[in-house]
Amino acid sequence: MAIPLWLDHASIAVPDLAAAVERLDERLGLRATVSPAAPERHSRVYLDRSYLEVSVGPTSADHWQATMFFLRFEDPVVLRAHLDAAAIAYRFDEYGGVDGTWDDIETGVVDPSLSTLIRRTAPPDVARDWPPALAERHRCGARSLAQVHVEVSALDEAAQGYRRLLGSAEAVASEPERVRVGLASGELVLHEGDSDAIVGVVLGVPSLDATRAALGGLLGPSEQGVAWVDPAETFGLRLGFTERERDLGPQALET
**What is the tens place of the pLDDT at every residue in 30-45?**
999 999 999 999 999 9
**Closest by Cα among 41, 196, 27 to 109:** 196
Contacts for 3 with CB less than 8 Å, ≥ 6 apart: 73, 78, 79, 82, 165, 166, 167
Q: How many CA atoms lie within 13 A of 135 on its CB side?
A: 9
Residues 168 and 163: their CA atoms lie apart, in Å, by 5
**pLDDT tens-place string over residues 205-217:** 999 999 999 999 8
Domains and CATH numbers, the chain: 6-127 (3.10.180.10), 144-243 (3.10.180.10)
- Tell me how long the chain is: 255
Work out the mean pLDDT of the chain and round it to a whole number: 92
**Closest by Cα among 122, 176, 179 to 154:** 179
Residue 250 vs residue 204, higher pLDDT: 204
Q: What is the pLDDT of residue 190?
A: 96
Q: What is the pLDDT of residue 80?
A: 95
Q: What is the pLDDT of residue 254?
A: 33
Residue 250 vs residue 190, higher pLDDT: 190
The SS3 assignment for 211 reads: helix
DSSP 210: H
